[in-house]
Structure 1
Amino acid sequence: MKDSVQPAAAAHPSPKDEDQPKFPWKAGLGLLFGGAGWYWAGQAVNAVLLPAKIAQIDPEGKVALVAIISTVTMIISIVAGIVGGALSDMTRSRFGSRTPWIVGGVVFGTIALLTFAFTSSVPVVLGSWWVYAAIYNAMLAAGCAWQPDQVAPRWRGTASSMYGVGHQAALQGAQVVAALFVTNIPKGVIISLAIGGVLSLLSVAVCREPSNTHVPRSSFTVVEALRNFLPPADGGRDYWLAALARFLWMVPGGIGTYRLYTLTDYMHQDEATAGQWMSFMALLGMIAAMGCGIIAGPISDKFRSVKIPLAVAIFFVGLPCWLPFFVPTPVMYTIYVAVSSLGSGVFSSLDQAIMTTVLPHPENAAKDLAFLNSCGVVGNLAAPLLAAWVIKMFGYAGLFPMGFIVLTSAAICIFFIRKVH
């Protein structure tokens, strides 16, 4: 058994600091373009075009249906990410392990989303979207492995920042573009696919992953794969506080899931006007988040403090939730999005610093960090369910106090972590 495990350790050897005296710009730019391209089409559909499509097909049951779709999507995402990552580890080609999955994801994901765009059948809409969700998450799991594959530890902070900027650009920029097409969903899907596809293929062309046909293939079992995603039994207080904080951070995401319906059903905007407001909100959010994300890391390093800025940032994401609650207008909703995005940018920049510091065992860092990331996925899974329940019990207005309460709880979790200054 020991002999069979040994090749796995060498299958994707990370470069050492002495191997990279200069920053690996090809890998860094690949992560920048990939961070935008891999997320673009999925974010555009999930946040904007899918709710708009469901509202056209089933206007009466749209809230419950979106909650169900989101739940199944997150389950598929978890499974597809695990399986896709493992299969990419096993892939051997002249283009490397990750590139075939990224290119294949672009090709087959395009087919799935075009099917989604041009059908009015609920089963076909759901089936094509879920197929895309599986393809997208497998592609994402493969692409994110570029960082440990090709970037030495001394440069991973910069590489992470480049990936984070691309990611933030996709999270907000995709909504800016897609929101312009809530009344013309096929056109919105085509444009989103074009942007995401070009950026994804550009990431592959820039990164130029080396061949790995010479690398021995390691054995793979389902039992071993599942074991790699179990949490550490002795993780300690700080580890579990970080896990809970990551879960709570994602839970208010249902506010964004139902943004279109909040504008139309609660703030009484017509669909076209709501789309314009969503586009403007996303643009402001993107500028605010990316601006804060770029400067938060250097400022945190200068003052040698991560915990306090992160806890304060999370709290100030939740605090402006009260603005559209007390003044339910699109203008106040837009101010809320802009202000909260400032804190979101800080979170994106400092989150990994907290998560990697609380890991209990350096030799199991990847496994233990994967579990922390999965807590965020579970929070994302819970988000539309909690939001749908809140809407049913309290109406759309109830979403905003919920966001404040949950995010304040997340900030408290971060504040009580002892291992991080």
Structure 2
Amino acid sequence: MSNAESTKTMEPKDSGKYPWRPVIGQFFCTIAFYGPFFGISGILLPAKIGFIDPVNKVNLTATATTVTLIISVFAGIIFGALSDMTRSRFGARTPWLIGTSVVATVCLIIFAVNDNTAIAMAAWFVYTACYSAMMSAGMAWMHDLIPEKYRGSASSSFGIATQIGLNGFQSLCSLFVASVGAVSNGVFVTLVIADIAMIIAVIVTAEPSNKDIPPVKLDLSAFKQFLPPTHAGRDYWFACISRLLYMLPGGIGTYRLYTLTDWMHTSAASAATWMALMSMLSLIFAIIMSALSGPVSMLFKGGMKIPAAVGMFLVGVPCWLPLIVPTPLMYTIYVALSGIGGGLFIAIDQSLMTSVLPNPDQAAKDLSFINAMGTVGQMLAPLLGAWVFHQFGYAGLFPMGFIVLTLGALSILGMKNVK
């Protein structure tokens, strides 16, 4: 039997009932892996670096973020392929979700209690690998357990969870910015919530056994499991490009704290308050748009391509506001309005990406390559942001965001076979 045959998986069966359990499970799972990563990397990691080395904080943050995302690229692909190969009584994904959650918890505790740069960063980097494994396994639940006819609404649920994990946890972590020091209490609060969410996800989903599926034969040909789908087709690669460009303006968020304090001359305490408000308003608008993504999609006759492109474009349009009026209030309005487009895009994104997968038997790995492109965008974001900062100052970040996101919207429109 060939490896291609031995890796064949079963498509989820449509029982005629809405698959509430996996939808709810993926909702909590998404919060569990996105929340700590985005909350800490976006808020507490720069704050801790600023506490340790205030003079070199911009360059050190760029370096730390870059190393983090390099790890994410390779770990996501490797663990995604290993997850596809896993056979157990708990399915292909649950063992990875549980195992890496335990290791991630230990790493974040070490990170939280250390002010030694080397130890704290090492713990953070190992956590990053665990985060990538959780994301690769958790995202594949939609393909494995949710029939295609339900993935639109399931993607909307995923979008809401993503916004909670991104903006909700960043808002939560912003409350602890002013008190970041030798011990980061915000990390502990974030960790407890994430671990509870993961426990709920695993229990509710109750992923079935896949031991009846023939195992992968581990020979030289199995190496292909770790390679990108070279014959995936045009739509798959446009999806990869759009994900990269969506993440590329992330330098705006990476240097948000410094933009408020160093460019807009806001105190650290006031900046923390503004950042919490930004994240909360963005979360509210994004959740509302995620919930409305179904009706919005129906305006385009159920299509995903146009509303996804419109959503990405709407993220970029408000970038001009803080450039024209550089105040914390206008910066907050920009972030809130961007949440409208972000909510629409993220709610449709997962279903869009699932629809371009070339091989159902390698869903986690192929999704990991799309996610890896987003991670490359995150990796390049602080570097691009730092370059723009050195060339044009903090003001240059905002036009950069508009230009990149507009190109991302055009890349979505370049998909040919996606409705």
TM-score, structure 1 as length reference: 0.90
CA distance in 2, matches of 1:335, 1:73: 30
Alpha-carbon contact 2:8-2:361 (below 8 Å) kept:
no
1:219 maps to: 217
Question: Residues 388 and 396 of structure 2 are in contact (CA less than 8 Å); yes or no, is this contact kept in structure 1?
Answer: yes
Return closer, same or farther for 1:153/1:180 CA change in 2, 3 Å cut-off: same
Change in Cα spacing, 1:222 to 1:64, as seen in structure 2 (3 Å) is farther
1:254 aligns with 2:254: no
Matched, 1:280 2:277: yes
Match of residue 308 from structure 2: 310
User: What is the alpha-carbon distance in structure 1 between the residues aligned to residue 395 and residue 342 of structure 2?
Assistant: 22
User: What is the aligned partner in structure 2 of residue 21 from structure 1?
Assistant: 16
Runs of 4+ in 1 over 6 A off after TM superposition: 362-365
Q: Secondary structure at the match of 2:7?
A: helix
User: Displacement of 1:231 after TM fit?
Assistant: 4.4
1:336-386 per-position Cα deviation (integer Å, ceiling 9, x unaligned): 000111001111123345545666x57788466554443222212111110
Corresponding residue of 1:181: 176
Matched position secondary structure for 1:183: coil
For the residue of structure 1 that corresponds to 2:17, the secondary structure is coil
Supply the distance in 2 between the matched residues of 1:218 and 1:375 (Cα, whole angstroms). Answer: 26
Partner Cα distance (1:267, 1:14) in 2: 53
- 1 CA distance for matches of 2:332 and 2:229? 39
Root mean square deviation, CA, Å? 2.4
What is the CA-CA distance between 1:128 and the residue it aligns to? 0.7
- Other-structure match for 1:328: 326
Q: Who is 1:57 aligned against?
A: 52
Establish whether residue 109 from structure 1 lines up as the match of residue 107 from structure 2: no
Q: Secondary structure of 2:175's match?
A: helix
1:137 and 2:132 are equivalent in the alignment = yes
CA distance in 2 between counterparts of 1:201 and 1:60 reads 41
The answer for unaligned runs of 5 or more in structure 2 is none
Provide closer, same or farther for how the CA distance between residues 353 and 153 of structure 1 changes in structure 2, counting only shifts above 3 A: closer
Other-structure match for 1:8: 7
Relative to structure 1, is the Cα distance of residues 190 and 149 closer, same or farther in structure 2, using a 3 angstrom cutoff?
A: same
Cα distance in 1, alignment partners of residues 187 and 264 from structure 2 = 26
State the Cα deviation string for residues 93-124 of structure 1 (Å, max 9, x = none): 44333222222222211111111111111111
Partner of 2:398: 400
Aligned length: 414
- In structure 2, the residue matched to 1:383 is 381
Question: Which among 204, 207, 210 is matched to residue 206 of structure 1?
Answer: 204
Bigger Cα displacement from structure 2, 137-146 vs 256-265: 137-146
Q: TM-score scaled by structure 2?
A: 0.91
Q: Which runs of 5+ in 1 are unaligned?
A: none
3-state secondary structure, aligned to 1:130: helix
2:248 corresponds to 1:244: no
Question: Is 1:291 equivalent to 2:318 in the alignment?
Answer: no
- Correspondence 1:151 to 2:151: no
Q: Which amino acid aligns with 2:8?
A: A
Q: Which amino acid aligns with 2:243?
A: R
Offset of residue 224 of structure 1: 3.8
Contact 1:34 1:163 in 2 (8 A): no
Q: Does the 8 Å contact 1:88/1:97 carry over to 2? A: yes
Q: Is the 8 A contact 1:307 1:420 kept in 2?
A: yes
Q: For the residues of structure 2 that align with 1:340 and 1:222, how far apart are their CA atoms?
A: 47
Aligned to 2:160: 165
Q: Distance in 2 between matches of 1:398 and 1:51?
A: 20
Give the corresponding residue for 1:74.
69
2: CA distance between counterparts of 1:42 and 1:390?
25
Conserved in 2, the CA contact under 8 Å of 1:229 and 1:368?
no
Q: Is the 8 A contact 2:91 2:209 kept in 1?
A: yes
Q: Which amino acid counterpart does residue 294 of structure 2 have in structure 1?
A: G
